[in-house]
Amino acid sequence: MKIKNIVFSFLSIILLAACGGGGGGGGSSGGGSTPSPTPAPTPAPTPAPVYDASVFVPEGQTETYVGFLFNKLIGYTGCLSSIKLNLTNTNGFLSATSLVANEWRYLGYFYDDDGNFATGLILGDNIITSEGDEPGTYYSIPLEDTTLNGISVNNRDINPYTYEAEDADDLEVFSADLYLDMSTSTTQYYCQPSLRMGLSALPSASRNSNDEVFVGTSEDASSYQFLYLVSEDYWNSGLNNLPSESDLFNVNYAGFEIYTSYMSNPNFILPPIGFMGTTNRIDSVNNASFAERETLVGGRRANSILIDNNATYSLQRFTKYLYTGEDWSSQRVFLKGYVDSDCFRSESSSNNCYFNDLDIFFFSPDKEGLIGFDLGGYNGSSETTFSRIYFKND
């Protein structure tokens, strides 16, 4: 099966050319013949679509894209923002006309007044809602007044809905670049930085669906960012079946690492190892610090698997659902990582519990896949990141 079809469930479309009406047969009647009717002209076939900005927003129209932005400065806790970005297709350029956010949460370890750890690694309280406003209220994020703000889709003379990718390298054709400057005349917000980001810009499964995706990361010497955007219609299609922790149980996942850079095509890497979440709850942890114990307790054991046959490769993985439980919140995200076996052995001075190799991920609106990023800068890891897309491998 083609990689494209495995990962993105692309559906082929068939362009039908209408056939003309049949010519009547001659016959004899009353010694004469009836002339055949003139055949109806054959309509011209519908032009095949090409990969350009109109795949995401029709020319001259405005559409809303919804998703997440994560920003982390080196040495600081990262912030996860829930956003809506209006994009207008102006002569093949997706102009960013407005940006709003309704949820800002720091992802990190929190401390008490004495400077001691008070929590494990968690999503904190929503900090964007002003006193007196309803939770979930959207606030405008001022953009710089420049025509440069927006997304440039890298046009390709291919039909995006029937394109056949033979390997991961062929997926690089679906790319775009984001330029987004926050207003310099107003307060600068940590959770909403200016962006220069290369994107993997994945078209929808068919011409008549709306599940297109922008996903990418950026980084410099002082910070990194992750961005995920889908059409509002696609986002809203999942509101009647929101993610839950149990959606992750006993499903094998394989996936791509996606490396993006501004003004460069993305690179897709397919690791041989995937994972499967289990129902095995972590109720106790030994040989650990307070923060390590608080992070792991309440999570679930997970297995790493070989993607070619789903055989168990290692039992040293865990997941934890970080959702805070507020009904209106869209940040129903998971933490995944490596956990050392000493965390589950008897207490001993020779044992040392630790976890690392952390990811954040969440379900697509239809729950057919997982999207996320490498959580660099936590638990001693380097301050860098890349995107991930997981798909069901059963």
Question: What's the confidence (pLDDT) of residue 34?
Answer: 56
Cβ contacts of 31 within 8 Å, gap of 6 or more = none
Question: Is there a domain that residue 30 lies in?
Answer: no
Residue 362 structure tokens: 């969440």
Q: What count of other Cβ atoms lies within 10 Å of the Cβ of residue 26?
A: 11
- In this prediction, residue 47 carries a pLDDT of 74
Domain membership of residue 39 (yes or no) is no
Number of domains in the chain: 1
Q: What is the mean pLDDT of each successive set of 10 residues along the chain, which is 394 residues long?
A: 39 29 44 61 73 97 98 97 98 97 97 94 96 95 96 96 89 96 82 97 92 97 97 96 97 97 96 97 98 98 98 97 96 98 97 97 96 97 97 94
pLDDT at 22: 42
Whether 100 is in a domain gets the answer yes
| pLDDT value of position 310 | 97
The predicted pLDDT at position 166 comes to 86
In a domain, 105, yes or no: yes
Position 196 scores a pLDDT of 98
DSSP 344-362: GSPP-TT----EEEEEEEE
User: Are 48 and 15 spatial neighbours (Cβ–Cβ below 8 Å)?
Assistant: yes
Task: Give the structural domain span for 318.
Answer: 47-392
User: How many angstroms separate the CA atoms of 75 and 274, rounded?
Assistant: 30
24 is a domain residue: no
Q: Is residue 152 part of a domain?
A: yes
Q: Is residue 2 part of a domain?
A: no
Quote the pLDDT of residue 185. Answer: 67
Q: Do the domain assignments include residue 33?
A: no
Helix (H/G/I), strand (E/B), else coil: 225? strand
Angle at the Cα of 383 from the Cα atoms of 380 and 386, rounded to 5 degrees: 115
Give me the pLDDT at residue 37, please: 67
